[in-house]
A and B are shown apart, each in its own frame.
Chain A
Amino acid sequence: DQQVKQNSPSLSVQEGRISILNCDYTNSMFDYFLWYKKYPAEGPTFLISISSIKDKNEDGRFTVFLNKSAKHLSLHIVPSQPGDSAVYFCAASKAGNTPLVFGKGTRLSVIA
Chain B
Amino acid sequence: GAVVSQHPSRVICKSGTSVKIECRSLDFQATTMFWYRQFPKQSLMLMATSNEGSKATYEQGVEKDKFLINHASLTLSTLTVTSAHPEDSSFYICSASLAGGSRLFFGEGSRLTVL
Query: CB-defined interface of A68-112 with B at 8 Å, one 1/0 digit per residue?
Result: 000000000000000000000101010011111111110000000
Contact of B111 with A45 in the complex, beta carbons under 8 Å: no
**B93 near A97: Cβ-Cβ < 8 Å:** no
A45 to B32, CA, bound (A): 19
* Interface: A16 (CB within 8 A): no
Report A-chain residues with C-beta under 8 Å of the C-beta of B6: 43
CA–CA, A102 and B38, complex, Å: 11
Chain B interface residue count: which class?
20 to 34
A-B pair count, CB < 8 Å, reads 63
Give chain A nearest CB distance to B108 CB in angstroms.
5
Assembled-state Cα–Cα distance A44/B94 (Å): 10
Q: In the complex, which residue of chain A has the Cβ closest to the Cβ of B36?
A: A102
Structural contact, A102 and B101, CB atoms closer than 8 A: no
Of the candidate stretches B14-22, B40-48, B61-69, B80-88, the one touching chain A is: B40-48
Q: Which residues of B contact A (CB under 8 A)?
A: 1, 4, 6, 9-10, 32, 34, 36, 41-46, 49, 91, 93, 95, 97, 99-109, 111
